[in-house]
Structure formats: structure tokens, C-alpha cells
């Protein structure tokens, strides 16, 4: 099969001749799988004990045929040996950390990572005797200084939320390889269309598949992709914890993945055009978008990524009330806390984080900061909408 993204997105992971002659992979809606006789059980158990991966399903908490097809498609898009699906992005992260870290281990965490990831490390890993050091992705040289003999994993995010900082992946990957430390990146904002972290030497790549991979704001799922040895412990832990994805969400994810390249290319175009428009507007104080030369990581992004994404963060001239008035004047985007779907969604970051100004400041969220996750609408309509909303301030 071709290794081009659109062809893989449509065909990878799925057999051409499907059950019942169906064109789409069916939803296998079952929790239980039965055996014809004792001989079939013996054959299954022997193949399972040998470590064979391509075997029939045993129980819904472990795997499902619809899930396996979606996993294989994600693995193909990431250039990975294998991928695993989970019930959400956070369940992918928490299951992975539970599988790979033990009492006395040390984790290096990107300071700009998703706040729930940081909360899990601070509130739960610490309780289990696992220490965490945070390092800014804007200082890749600081990762070496943070390493300890007990460091087992470096977990980072790129692009970050909401300021879209870009980590030099090769620098951190080489450090991990030299010191025998696993490296993992949350690449949700990038998608494999814009960035394939495994090609830059990372061991594991994670996505909140609820976002761009599914693409329609109707799925909760998370994925981890990497090599078979790296995923073996995580898969075993997933089976114990029961954090696998369900067949209905896997079916919707398969559907969404087929148009992933088309959607992301359009969102890249919309992001660049909108960022350029906002940067030139007098009512906008600052724009954060890696496709702009003004972004601190523009050079790294150009070297590392093939597109800069559909999220644009920017600050309005004025306080949170003026910023809210601008949001309320917009006609096209929905107001909400997610991203990656075909519909544009805008979020006043500080208000949805906390109403306490001190907590907002500690989190580095200005009261006038907005995150605009652009959909696939016509960019001229998006810009016209922004223009009329800004003109009313």
C-alpha cells in the first residue's frame, strides 16, 4: 500500500473484504467472545502464551475487532509498529504512567503540558512514591540537567496549550537514547499529518483522539503508538484497568480518520490566514501561532513540522470583560473547551480555568487570552466574522 497519508487514512488497518460484504468495518457490539470447543481454547491459550499478537478476541475489556482496525490505522499514520486505543486521552496517559513507572522512579514532565496530566503527576504519582520534575519545553537543554539515575520517562507536549510552544524533539529523543530513558510526546495539536514524533526518535506518541483524529466532536478516545516492546506493558495494564475504548467510539474514530488529512490541511490553511490577519489588527495585542515569524519557536516548527495546525491563540487589547464582549460578538465559532473538530470553537482560557485571578496568574493565563480552534469553514467567512467582532469593540 502507498505510504501517502490520504491513502493510508482511508485504507490502512482494514481488510478489503469485510464481513457480510460491508464497505465499512462493522461495529462488533459484544462484551463476550465464545469458543467452539476445548480444542479452540487450547489453541488460543498456546498462541497467547507465545506472545502472538494477531489472535482472536477473548473479552471486551481487552480488545475488539473494530478497535483493532482503528489501532492499525493510527499505527500506519504514525509510522509505528503498533497503536493502542483507550477510553479517553487522559486514560491513555494515566494507564501508560501506571504501566511504566514504579515506586522510587522519577518522571520528567513538560511544564506546559495539559493541566490534568500535571495534576495526575502531582496528586497521584506522588502518593505512590514517584517523583516528578517539570521542565519548560522552551529550554530543551534543561532536560539533561533534570535527569537522575532513577529517571524512567520524559513526557512532553508539542505544540503546547495554549501558547503553542514547540519542543525540539530530536534534542530530547537523543538524550533519552543516550541515557536509556523512554520518551513520550502528546502530539494532539499536531496530528501525524503535521508531525510524526517517532521519525524524530521518540519512543511513544500519544493523542487525545477525541480531537483531530476523530474530528467531529462526538467521540471520547485516546491513543498511544510506538514499538511492540514499548507497548507490551501498557497493553497488559490496560487490560487490568479496563481503560480500553468501546466499539462504537472506535467505529466513529475509523470514520473520522478517513478524512484526517483533508481536514487538517484545511485547518492549517485557516490557522495561517487567521493568525496573519489577527497579527495585523490594532485591537489585538499579541498572536501566538508557530507559523508566524514572531513566534519564539518558529524556526524549530519550520524544521520539524509540515504544517502549523488549526489553533491560534491571541490576546485582545483590554481586560477580560472586553475580551468576553468580543467573543460574544462572534457569529461563527461555538464557545467551548475543546478543539480539532470541523466546527470552529473559541475559548477564553482564564475563565474556564478559574474565576480566581491569582490562580489564573499562577497558570500563566492572561485575562485577555483566547484560544481559537479553527474548523474547516471558509477562511474568508472566518476572517470577516473576526473583523466585525473586533470592529464592535
* 266 in active site: no
- From first CA to last CA, the distance across the chain in angstroms is 53
Which residue in 43, 57, 61, 385 is the catalytic one? 61
Q: Annotated catalytic, 114?
A: yes
- Active-site annotation holder among 73, 211, 266, 371: 211
211 is catalytic: yes
User: Which one of 68, 73, 82, 114 is the catalytic residue?
Assistant: 114
Three-class DSSP category at 382? helix
Q: In what order do the strands lie in the sheet with 151-157?
A: 82-86, 222-226, 204-208, 182-186, 151-157, 106-110, 131-135
- What torsion, rounded to 10 degrees, do the Cα atoms 85, 220, 363, 366 define? 130
The one catalytic residue in 105, 168, 186, 297 is 186
Which regions of the chain does DSSP assign to beta strands (E)?
A: 82-86, 106-110, 131-135, 151-157, 182-186, 204-208, 222-226, 284-288, 311-316, 334-335, 345-348, 369-373
CA dist 85 and 207 (Å) reads 10
Query: Could you give the 3-state DSSP secondary structure of residue 257?
Result: helix
Cell reading at 281:
489588527
Question: Which residues are tagged catalytic?
Answer: 61, 114, 186, 211
Amino acid at each position: 500500500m502507498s505510504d501517502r497519508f490520504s491513502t493510508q487514512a482511508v485504507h490502512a488497518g482494514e481488510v478489503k473484504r469485510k464481513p457480510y460484504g460491508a464497505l465499512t468495518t462493522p461495529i462488533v457490539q459484544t462484551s463476550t467472545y465464545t469458543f467452539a470447543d476445548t480444542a479452540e481454547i487450547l489453541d488460543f491459550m498456546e498462541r497467547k502464551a507465545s506472545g502472538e499478537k494477531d489472535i482472536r478476541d477473548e473479552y471486551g475489556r481487552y480488545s475488539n475487532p473494530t478497535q483493532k482496525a482503528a489501532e492499525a490505522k493510527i499505527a500506519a499514520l504514525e509510522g509505528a509498529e503498533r497503536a493502542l486505543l483507550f477510553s479517553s486521552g487522559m486514560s491513555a496517559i494515566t494507564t501508560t504512567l501506571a504501566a511504566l513507572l514504579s515506586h522510587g522512579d522519577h518522571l520528567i514532565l513538560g511544564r506546559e503540558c495539559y493541566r490534568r496530566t500535571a495534576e495526575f503527576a502531582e496528586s497521584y504519582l506522588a502518593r505512590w512514591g514517584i517523583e516528578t520534575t517539570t521542565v519548560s519545553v522552551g529550554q530543551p537543554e534543561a532536560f539533561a540537567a533534570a535527569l537522575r539515575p532513577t529517571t524512567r520517562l520524559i513526557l512532553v507536549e508539542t505544540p503546547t496549550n495554549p501558547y503553542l510552544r514547540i519542543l525540539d524533539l530530536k534534542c530530547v529523543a537523543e538524550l533519552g537514547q543516550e541515557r536509556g530513558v523512554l520518551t513520550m510526546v502528546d502530539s494532539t495539536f499536531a496530528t501525524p499529518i503535521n508531525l510524526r514524533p517517532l521519525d524524530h526518535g521518540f519512543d511513544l506518541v500519544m493523542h487525545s483522539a477525541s480531537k483531530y483524529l476523530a474530528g467531529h466532536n462526538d467521540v471520547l478516545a485516546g491513543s498511544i503508538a510506538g514499538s511492540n516492546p514499548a507497548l507490551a506493558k501498557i497493553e497488559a495494564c490496560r487490560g487490568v484497568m479496563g481503560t480500553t475504548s468501546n466499539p462504537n467510539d472506535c467505529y466513529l474514530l475509523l470514520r473520522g480518520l478517513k478524512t484526517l488529512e483533508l481536514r487538517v490541511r484545511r485547518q492549517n490553511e485557516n490557522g495561517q490566514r487567521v493568525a496573519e490577519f489577527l497579527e495585523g489588527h490594532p485591537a489585538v495585542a499579541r498572536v501566538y501561532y508557530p507559523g508566524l515569524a514572531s513566534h519564539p519557536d518558529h524556526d524549530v516548527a519550520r524544521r520539524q513540522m509540515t504544517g502549523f495546525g488549526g489553533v491560534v491563540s491571541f490576546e485582545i487589547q483590554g481586560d477580560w470583560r472586553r475580551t468576553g464582549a468580543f467573543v460574544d460578538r462572534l457569529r461563527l465559532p461555538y464557545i467551548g473547551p475543546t478543539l480539532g473538530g470541523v466546527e470552529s470553537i473559541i475559548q477564553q482560557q482564564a475563565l474556564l480555568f478559574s474565576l480566581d485571578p491569582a490562580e489564573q496568574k499562577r497558570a500563566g493565563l492572561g485575562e485577555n487570552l483566547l484560544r481559537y480552534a479553527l474548523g474547516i469553514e471558509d477562511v474568508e467567512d472566518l476572517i470577516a466574522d473576526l473583523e466585525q467582532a473586533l470592529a464592535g469593540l
